[in-house]
């Protein structure tokens, strides 16, 4: 009995140590994930439906803070340009410096003469509401369109500007990776630009790793915190079962069917 108790106590100390380590590691992962996310990402609320169906009016998005020089064709970006109202806006990059943009050929947008597949457009909608005359994007600039082309105030509304509807890369504040609310998740990658020189859409940021860190951290904290009560209840149950078994064995030894019964039988014989 003494050996069993010492074994249980040893297991209890080891379990407590491991649960403490799990809680500590979980706190690091959980809080670290939030801090990492706050440093890398910025939430934005999209006020209009110009990016429907990719992003709806009132949706809340998570946008990775990036330098404008890192933006590529197909990226959905948050930018701020004084000539466009000096407010944060969300649009899709369809052209970079040196690209020749036009629409439409067979109902599709063309970039440097290549027809672009745009599965993110609303079903049944063309690549442009009124067409886009052939326009060359100035170096260091981006040509931006909304996914809902018929009602989007985008580069097509600024073609008469000095920059031919484009905005400087320095106007970009962030690149949208996911719709956080409603929980639509990561944006689909725009693959229609992949065959152009320079490649297509950027790879998403570390949002999946950040979410994994938060989820794993929460699981470790909850699991480690729950270990103590569960282990204590298990040990108490084990002691109670052991006590009942020991009492029964002693009674069987000294009761009527035990030693006394054996002595009576011997006397008769």
Identify whether 16 is a catalytic site residue: no
Q: What is the dihedral of CA 145, 150, 152, 154, to 10 degrees?
A: 40
In a domain, 117, yes or no: yes
Considering 2, 16, 19, 50, which one is annotated as catalytic? 50
In a domain, 84, yes or no: yes
In a domain, 54, yes or no: yes
Count the domains in the chain: 1
Query: What's the CATH number where 184 sits?
Result: 2.10.109.10
Name the token pair of 41. Answer: 């990402």
| Per-residue model confidence (pLDDT) at position 224 | 80
Structural domain that includes position 140: 41-203
pLDDT tens sequence across 148-202: 998 889 999 999 999 999 999 999 999 999 999 998 899 999 999 999 988 889 9
In a domain, 249, yes or no: no
Cα 117 from Cα 87, distance rounded (Å): 30
In a domain, 25, yes or no: no
Considering 91, 152, 166, 202, which one is annotated as catalytic? 91
In a domain, 14, yes or no: no
Ordered per-residue pLDDT tens for the chain, 269 residues = 455 454 555 555 776 788 888 889 999 999 999 999 999 999 999 999 999 999 999 999 999 999 999 999 999 999 999 989 999 999 999 999 999 999 999 999 999 999 999 999 999 888 987 889 999 999 999 999 999 998 889 999 999 999 999 999 999 999 999 999 998 899 999 999 999 988 889 999 999 999 999 999 999 999 888 776 776 666 666 556 655 544 444 444 444 444 343 333 333 33
Q: Is 199 left (phi over 0), alpha (psi -120 to 50) or beta?
A: left
Identify whether 91 is a catalytic site residue: yes
Cα 131 from Cα 103, distance rounded (Å): 5
In a domain, 34, yes or no: no
């Amino acid at each position: 009995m003494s050996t069993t108790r010492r074994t249980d106590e040893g297991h209890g100390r080891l379990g407590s140590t491991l649960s403490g380590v799990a809680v500590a590691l979980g706190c690091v992962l959980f809080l670290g994930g939030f801090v990492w996310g706050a440093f890398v990402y910025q939430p934005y609320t999209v006020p209009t439906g110009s990016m429907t169906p990719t992003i709806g009016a009132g949706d809340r998005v998570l946008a990775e803070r990036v330098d404008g020089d890192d933006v590529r064709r197909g990226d959905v970006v948050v930018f701020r340009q004084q000539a466009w109202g000096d407010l944060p806006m969300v649009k899709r990059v369809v052209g970079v410096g040196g690209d020749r943009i036009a629409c439409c050929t067979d109902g599709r947008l063309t970039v440097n003469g290549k027809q672009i597949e745009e599965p993110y457009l609303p079903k049944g909608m063309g690549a442009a509401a009124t067409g886009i005359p052939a326009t060359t994007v100035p170096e260091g600039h981006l040509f931006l369109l909304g996914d809902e082309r018929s009602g989007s105030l985008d580069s097509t509304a600024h073609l008469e500007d000095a920059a031919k509807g484009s905005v400087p890369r320095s106007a970009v504040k962030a690149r949208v990776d996911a719709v956080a609310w409603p929980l639509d998740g990561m944006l689909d990658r725009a693959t229609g630009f992949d065959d152009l020189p320079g490649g297509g859409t950027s790879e998403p940021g570390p949002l999946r790793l950040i979410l994994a860190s938060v989820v794993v951290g929460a699981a470790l904290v909850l699991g480690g915190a729950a270990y103590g009560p569960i282990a204590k209840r298990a040990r108490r149950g084990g002691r109670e079962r052991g006590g009942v078994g020991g009492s029964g064995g002693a009674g069987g030894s000294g009761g009527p069917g035990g030693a006394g019964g054996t002595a009576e039988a011997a006397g008769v014989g």
